[in-house]
Chain A
Amino acid sequence: MSAGIIAMMLGISTLLGALGLAALLWGLRTGQFDDTSKFLDGARFDGEEELKDAVMMEEKRKKALEKRRKDKRVMPD
C-alpha cells in the first residue's frame, strides 16, 4: 500500500471523528445535554405547533427589544 493512501485514510477518518467530537462538544457547551429527558421528549412531542411557538417567541423577543431601542431614541437625554 502506498504511503499516500495510508496518509489520506488516516487524515480523513481522524478529521471525520474530530468533526463528530466538535459537534458533541458544541452540544455540551450550549447545554443541550443538561436536560436529558427534554432532549428525548422533543422528539416525542414536538410538532408543527411547537415550531410555531418557537417562532412566536422569537418575534416577541425582537419586538420587545425593538421597542426598547425606540424608547431610548425618543428620549433625548
Chain B
Amino acid sequence: MSKISCDHCNLEFDEKVMIEDEIDGEKKYFCCKGCQGVYHLLKEEGLDSFYDKLGSTKLQPAVKKEDDLKKFDLEGFIKKYVKVRDDGLYEINLIIEGIHCAACVWLNEKVLHQTPGVIEATINYTNNKAKIVWDPEEIKLSKIIETIRSIGYNAYPYDPKLQEERAVKQRREYYARILVAVFATMNIMWIAIAQYVGLFTGMRRDIKDILNFAEFVLATPTLFYSGWVYYRSAYYGLKHRFVNMDLLVATGATLAYIYSVYAMITRTGEVYFDSVTMIVTFILVGKYLEVLSKKQAVDTLDSILGTIPTEVTVVKENEKALVMVENVEPGDIIEIKPGEKVVIDGVIINGSASFDESSLTGESEPVFKKEGDEVLSGSICIDGVVRYRAKKDFSASLLSNIVSLLEDSITKKPKIERLVNQISGYFSVTILSIAFLTFIGWYFYAGEFEKALIVAISVVVIACPCALGLATPMATLVGIGIAAKRGLLFKEAAFLETMAKSDMLVLDKTGTITEGKPSVITYEKLKDFDESIVLELVKNSNHPISKGVERFIVEKMVRGEGDKGVRWQGDKGVRWQGVKEGRSEDEYFRTHTHTHTSILKVEKFKEIKAKGMIAKIGGKRVLGGNIELLKEFGIDVEIESENSIFLVAIENELVAVFELSDKIKEGAAEAISKIKELGIRVVMLTGDNEKVAKKVADTLGIEEFYAKLLPQDKSAYIDKFHKDGHIIVMAGDGINDSIALARSDIAIAMGSGADVAISVSDIVLLDEKPKSIYEAYKISRRTFKAVKENLALSLIYNTFAVPVAVMGFVNPLVAAISMSLSSLLVVGNSFRIKLSDK
C-alpha cells in the first residue's frame, strides 16, 4: 500500500485512510477533517502561499477543538489575564500551540492582522509566545482565539508579569553591561599594549598623555555603568553588615581608577585603567554565567493558580449561574461536570462520579464518590454530573490551603551558604587590611604618600579577585552542561554545590520510582478473539486502567504481535509515524487516538461508574471492567489478585483477563543501592497505603519509609529531617509532593510531572529514570571538587603574588600578565570536569 502525505500537515499515511478532495481540478489528500478544513480556509482567504513557505515541514494534524470558547469572555478570566492599556485597548499574552516553523508564525500573524479589531499581533518563534492587542469594542477575545483555532493552532493565556519575564529582563541588563565592558576592554587592551611597549622603548610624554586620556574615556563607562552591579551589591552587603567580594572588587577598581585619574592629570607615574576594565569585565562575565541559569522561585504559585477555574456553576432555585469562586458561600449548591476541577470543598447531595485525586494523594486510580461523600478541592471529576453543597468558602478550601502553604514554603526554603561566599568574605577582609597596612608601612618607610598609595593599590589589583570570581561559575557551568546532556536540567548553578553537600535523599513513590500508571503485567487470552475489539472499547474511556490496557494492546500491535487485521493498518500506520518522528507516546495518543475514525463501529458505549464499561462493537455486546461488572451481567468469575484486574467478555463469554499494576521503574533498585554507597540515607514518603509501600520498599531495598501521607504530612517530615541536621534532596512528581519539594534543599522533579512540581523544583529529570538521580549526585560532587580546586588555585596564586606586590615590585605589565594567567588556570581546571567525565 502506498503512502502519501497530507496536503496540509505533510504527515504520511496509507492512501486508504486519506480523505480525497478535488480543489481547482487538482486532487488533494488530507489525513483528517481538520486538515481539510484548514486547507480550504487558507485557500479562500488567499493565504495558500503558506504552503510554499512551509516546504516539507511536518505539522500536527489540525484537530478541531470543541472546547468552550465562552470562558475567554468571562469577567474573571479577563480580570486575570487581560491587561487594559492606558489608551483603552486590551492586551493579552498567549502561548500558541502547534507552531513548527517560520511559516506557522507567518500564517498566524497574517490571519490575526486581517482580523478586524486586532491592533497588534506579534509571535515569538523561539518560544511560541504571542502578544496580542485588540480593541474590545470591535472584537471579543473568544473570537480571536476562535480565529487561531480555525487555522489549526491553539492558544492559551499565560501571565508574563511572572516567570521568565523578570529573568529575561535581568539577563538583558547584564548582557548590555557586558557588551559595554567587553567593548571598552578590547579597545583599552590595544592602547595598553602601546603603553607596555613604551615602558621598554620609551615614549614621548605628549603621546602618552593622549593614550592615557583615551583609556580614561573607555574606562569611565565601564566602571560606572558595567561596574554598577558591584557598587550596588557592596552597598547591600555593608548594609547587612557583611563584607563580600563585590566590596573588594568595587574598592580595588575605584581606587585604581581614582589613582589613574590623578596620575593622568598630574602627569606622574603609570595609569591602571586597563586593570580597572579587566577586573570589571572578567568578574561581570562570571556573574553573567550565573544569571544565565537562574530561576525565579516565587512565580511557581501562578502556575497552580492558573489551573484553578475562576468560575463555578452554582444552582439556585433550579437555575444555573456562573459565579466567581470568591463569591461562593458555604451552603451553596455547586454543579460539577466531567473534566471539571473541584475548587471548593463540599459534600455530594445528588449524583455520583469518579474523582481523580492524584493531585492530593499522588495515586492515579480514581476514587468513586456518591451521595453523602466528601469532595475535596483539587480533585477532578472524571465521569458523571454531581451536585454538591459547599462546606467552606474558596479561601478555606483545601486547594487554597495548599497554595498558601506552598507560598509559605518557597520563602522559607533553606539556603545553604556557598563555599565561595564564605571564603570571599574572609579573602576581602584580608586583602583590604593587607593593602591598608602596606600603605601605612610604605608611607613611613618611603615617606612618600604617592608611592605608598601606588603600592597599596597594586596589592588590591594583583590580589585579583578575577580567579576567585570565576572559580565557581566556570566549574558549575561545565557541570551543568554535562548534566544537561544527560537529561538533567539544573535550574541554577548553585544547586550543584548544595546537591554535592547533601546527605539524605527523600523519594516519592508513585511516578518517581514507579511508573505512576497501571501497566499490564499479565495477560491471559482465554478464547480466540479480535483484540482490536478490546482496543476500541478501552479507547473510549479515560480511566487509568483502560489507558493501561490500551497502551498494552497498541504496543503489542506495533511489535507486530497483535492481530494483523486489515482494519488496523490505518491506525498502525499512524502509530509508526508517531514513533518515527520521535514524539512521545502520550503526545501521540493525544493527537491521534480520537481524530482518525476506525472501521469498527462502537455503539451504545456506556461507562458504569467504578465498575467498567459496556458497548456494542461490530454488532457484539462487549463488557470490560472488574469482577463486579461481570457479576452484574450474570457472568461468574473467580479470580483473586492483589493487583487490579480488567476482564473482557464478548457476548457474555469471558475472553480475556488483564492484570495491571504500577510497575517499578527500570534500574531503580540499582540506582538506589549506588546512592546508598555514596553514604546517603534514602527515605521513601508516599500517599499510598502501608502494604503497597512496604512491597515497593522491600523490592528496592529501602529500609525507611512512611505511608499514607497527605501533602502537608510530607512537608512535615522534611522539616523534621532538617531539624536533625540533614541536607535533603527530594524527588517527586505530583502536586501532592510540591510543598515538600519546595521545603527541601534540592527538589528534583520528573519531566512529565505536574507543572507545579516542576516549577518548584531545582532539577528536572527529563528521562525520569531513577538512575539519573545517582548521576546528578555524581556530577555535582565532581563539580564541587573542581570548585574547591579552583578556589585553592586562586588562593595559592595570591599567597605568591600579594607579597611581591607588598614589596612594591609590581608594575602594570606584571599585573596584567599574572592576572590573566590566574584566570586561565581556573578556566582550564574547570574543563577537566569534562575530561574526567568520559
Contacts and interface: CB of A to CB of B under 8 A. Distances in A.
Interface of A: 3, 6-7, 10-11, 14, 17-18, 21, 24-25, 28-29, 34-38, 41, 44-45, 53, 56-57, 60-61, 64-65, 67-68
B120 interface: yes
A38 B87 contact: no
19 contacts: A3-B210, A6-B207, A6-B210, A7-B210, A14-B214, A17-B183, A25-B179, A35-B125, A35-B126, A38-B124, A41-B105, A41-B106, A45-B53, A45-B106, A57-B120, A64-B117, A64-B135, A65-B87, A68-B88
A11 B214 CA distance: 8
B231 interface: no
Interface residues of B, number: 37
A47 to B, nearest CB: 10
B187 interface: yes
A10 B125 CA distance: 42
A63 to B, nearest CB: 9
Contacts of B168: 34
A9 B826 CA distance: 37
A29 B214 CA distance: 27
B110 interface: yes
B218 A14 contact: yes
Nearest to B125: A37
Given A3-B206, A41-B125, 16 more contacts: A6-B210, A7-B210, A10-B210, A14-B218, A21-B179, A25-B180, A28-B176, A28-B179, A34-B124, A34-B126, A34-B168, A35-B124, A38-B126, A53-B110, A64-B119, A67-B135
A25 B181 CA distance: 12
Contact of B126 (A10, A37, A53, A65): A37
A7 B118 CA distance: 55
Nearest to B206: A3
B172 interface: yes
A36 B126 contact: yes
Nearest to A54: B113
Most buried by B among A37, A44, A56, A64: A64
Interface of B: 53, 87-89, 102, 105-106, 110, 113, 117-120, 124-126, 135, 137-138, 168, 172, 175-176, 179-180, 183, 187, 191, 204, 206-207, 209-211, 214, 217-218
Contacts of A14: 187, 214, 217-218
B119 A57 contact: yes
Nearest to A8: B210
Given A21-B180, A28-B175, A61 B119 contact: yes
A1 to B, nearest CB: 8
A60 B176 CA distance: 34
Contacts of B89: 64
Contacts of A11: 214
A65 B191 CA distance: 54
Given A45-B102, A60-B119, A24 B179 contact: yes
A37 B123 CA distance: 11
Contacts of B176: 25, 28-29
Nearest to B217: A14
Contacts of B53: 45
Nearest to B112: A57
B87 A68 contact: yes
B527 to A, nearest CB: 57
Contacts of A3: 204, 206-207, 209-210
Nearest to A28: B176
B205 to A, nearest CB: 10
B194 to A, nearest CB: 10
B90 to A, nearest CB: 11
A6 B106 CA distance: 51
Contacts of A41: 102, 105-106, 125
A77 B570 CA distance: 67
